[in-house]
């Protein structure tokens, strides 16, 4: 009986070790495949468009002033809200 018990225990240890190694290899391989899939995946369109857009050309001050006048007129006519007006004004002044 002691020989049988020792054989069963030995088999259990070997089996447990093999299972642990197999699981570790599977997890590592799944991680590598996930990295490869991520590298091959196309980027979202909004990211591509953002990086592909050329830098805006410098706008002369006269053009900025006329744009601001037009924005003010649209705000006064209630076409633009105050928040939209401020956002557009910041965009124009930043260019």
* Residue scoring higher pLDDT (84 or 45): 84
DSSP 28-80: HHHHHHHHHHHHHSPPPHHHHHHHHSPPPPPPPHHHHHHHHHHHHHHHHTTSS
76 pLDDT band, cuts 50/70/90, is: very high
Q: What is the pLDDT of residue 4?
A: 76
What's this model's pTM, rounded to 2 decimal places? 0.39
Q: What are the pLDDT digits (tens) for 10-63? A: 887 787 787 877 888 888 888 888 888 877 777 665 555 555 566 666 668 888
């Amino acid at each position: 009986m002691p020989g049988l018990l020792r054989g069963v225990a030995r088999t259990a240890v070997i089996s447990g070790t093999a299972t642990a190694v197999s699981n570790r290899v599977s997890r590592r391989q799944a991680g590598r495949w996930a990295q490869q899939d991520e590298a091959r995946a196309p980027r979202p369109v909004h990211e591509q468009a953002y990086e592909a857009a050329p830098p805006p050309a410098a706008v002369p001050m006269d053009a900025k002033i006329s744009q601001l006048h037009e924005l003010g007129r649209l705000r006064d006519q209630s076409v633009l809200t105050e928040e939209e007006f401020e956002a557009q004004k910041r965009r124009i002044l930043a260019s």
